[in-house]
Structure 1
Amino acid sequence: MPELRAGGRQWTVASAANLLDALNDAGFSVPYSCRAGSCHTCLVRCVVGEPLDELPQALDADKRDQGWRLACQCRVVDDLAVEIFDPACDGLPATVSDCHWLSASVLRLRLEPERPLRYRAGQHLVLWTASGVARPYSLASLPGEDGFLEFHIDCQRPGAFADVARTLKAGDPLRLGELRGGALQYDRDWQDRPLLLLAAGTGLGPLWGVLREALRQDHQGPINVLHVARDSSEHYLAEPMNQLEHAHTNLKTELVAAADFHAALAHLRIASRQTIALVCGSPASVEAFSRRLFIAGLPRGQMLADVFLEKT
């Protein structure tokens, strides 16, 4: 059976054991969220040996060349030595610049990184608390214009990161981990095509950044935004979206309460088969949006979707 080494310890594990499970069973508390290779919170660096990586495409080539692997996607088949991602050494320091409740359950968190971070609208970033809790969140800020990194945190239910986020105040330290591409983006080649932005809950966050990127690049086609929330009080960007709608004649927004979601879906249409749809929210909402778009005739390759998994 293979030997696994980490943190100055060495022990035997079952052949083909999941690397994340093997480390956590040994008491290392490697954080994770999705176990699907999406969140990137379980990064480890392989320093001796190579695991069987079941999802090598999940990491950029430069990360892989540095030895980084996603523990949840790796199996220990030979002797292996790893270093666990240490936010104190490997993470980028950041400071909380502002915490503001946009609704009863949505917290807007703004961070100032120690050095500028290059990113594009719609990407994800792993946030680490001082206590070692790590969770991926989508950026809602607009690169090159907003002087901060903005995140919309759903604090309706208890959760390891949400519980800490409720207590944050200006000046508190955080660490930034892996910056991820994410499925959502704006492409200049879409400039004359209809855009359909569909969001549920804080799935509006990354689409808020993508929407402003499209408008900044003077998007010429029609843009329709639909936001589904638990009730009218949770349409947390209603006022800024209304202001954008008044400033841009090609932008239309629709706010839908959860009770009216299926009725709104039944009336959902696409402007043309050239429409590009960007969808973000819970698995159930993304599935409902996707099914309706397919029925409406949207080609599958013209829908980009990000699914927000429940964060514990």
Structure 2
Amino acid sequence: MPELACAGRRWTVATGSNLLDALNAAGLRVPYSCRAGSCQACMVRCRGGEPLDERPEALPATQREQGWRLACQCRIDGDLQVELFDPVRDGLAAQVQAVDWLRRDVLRLRLLPERPLRYRAGQHALLWTPDGIARPYSLASLPDDDRWLEFHLDCHRPGAFSEAARRLRPGDGLRLGQLHGGALHYDPDWAERPLLLLASGTGLAPLWAVLREALRQGHAGPIRLLHRTHGTSYLAEPLLQLAQQHDLDVQWLDADQPWNDQTLRIASRQEIALVCGHADFVAACCRRLFLAGLPRGQVFSDTFIERNVSGGLSGG
């Protein structure tokens, strides 16, 4: 049986064991959320041996060359020594600049990292509290335009990270994990094509960034933004201001009402659709867009994970 070593301990595991499960079964409390390689909360660094990686493309080549792997995607087929991601050692310090409520259940968090970050509109980052609670959040800010990093936190349900975020004050410190993601983005080659942006809840955050990036790059085609939410969008005022200045159509869709057959009509087969929100919303949008005649290669989506992650537990 293979021997697994981590945090000064060594123990045997069954051949083919999932690395994340083996570490957490030993009480090492590796954070995780999606188990699909998307949240990237379960990063570990290989110091000896090599696991069987079922999704090597989930991490950039530069990180893989440094030994980083996603524990949820790795199986143990030989002796292996790994080192857990340490937010203090491996992450980036950031200071809370502002915490305010955009709506009763949506908290806007602005962080100033200790050094500038290079990122694209639509990416997301893993945030760590000093107590080791981790949660992936999409960036609502724009690179270059905003000094801070902005995140919109859905606090309508209890959660370990959201409860900790409620207590944050300017000057407090957090840590940032690696920036990742890329399905949601703006491509300058789309400049003349219609854009359809579909969001549910705080899935609006990355699309708010992508929308402003498109406008900043002089997007010439029409843009429609549909936000499925309870009541009015939490970004209603700035969205309506943009709609007055650009070829932008903004609509709110009541989350308590059934879908209308005309809701997701497509402007043309040249339209580009970007979808973000909870899994059922994203799946429904992608299915309806395909049935409406939009090629799959023109639909880009990102699914939000509802639970918090902390030490390998769901957090709630």
Q: Which runs of 5+ in 2 are unaligned?
A: 309-316
Cα displacement string for residues 159-178 of structure 1 (whole angstroms, at most 9, x for unaligned residues):
12111111111111000001
Q: 2: CA distance between counterparts of 1:207 and 1:241?
A: 11
TM-score by length of 2: 0.96
Q: 2: CA distance between counterparts of 1:276 and 1:196?
A: 6
- Quote the offset at 1:259 in angstroms: 2.4
Indicate the SS of the match to 2:24.
helix
Which of 281, 288, 291 is the equivalent residue of 2:284? 288
Residues 19, 72 of structure 1: 8 Å contact kept? yes
Cα displacement string for residues 51-90 of structure 1 (whole angstroms, at most 9, x for unaligned residues):
1111111011110000000001111111100010001100
Give RMSD over aligned pairs: 1.0
**Paired amino acid for 2:236:** A
Q: Higher relative contact order by CA 8 Å / sep ≥ 6: 1 or 2? A: 2
Q: Please name the residue that 2:131 is paired with.
A: 131
Q: Please name the residue that 1:255 is paired with.
A: 252
- Quote the offset at 1:309 in angstroms: 1.8
Cα displacement string for residues 252-302 of structure 1 (whole angstroms, at most 9, x for unaligned residues):
100111123512x53321111110000000111111111211121111100
Do the aligned partners of residues 151 and 261 (structure 1) sit closer, same or farther apart at CA in structure 2, a change above 3 Å counting? farther
Q: Which runs of 5+ in 1 are unaligned?
A: none
Cα displacement string for residues 159-199 of structure 1 (whole angstroms, at most 9, x for unaligned residues):
12111111111111000001103310000000000000000
Cα displacement string for residues 142-169 of structure 1 (whole angstroms, at most 9, x for unaligned residues):
1110111001110111112111111111
Q: Please name the residue that 2:271 is paired with.
A: 275
TM-score by length of 1: 0.97
Q: What are the residue-to-residue correspondences of 1:1-312 with 2, within 5 Å? A: 1-232=1-232, 235-248=233-246, 250-263=247-260, 265-312=261-308
**Paired amino acid for 1:298:** L
Indicate the SS of the match to 2:163.
helix
Task: Report the number of matched residues.
Answer: 308
Q: 2: CA distance between counterparts of 1:93 and 1:99?
A: 17
Q: 1: CA distance between counterparts of 2:97 and 2:274?
A: 29
Q: 1: CA distance between counterparts of 2:156 and 2:182?
A: 24
Moved more, 289-298 or 301-310: 289-298
Q: 1: CA distance between counterparts of 2:60 and 2:219?
A: 30
Residues 228, 261 of structure 1: 8 Å contact kept? no
Q: 2: CA distance between counterparts of 1:260 and 1:275?
A: 26
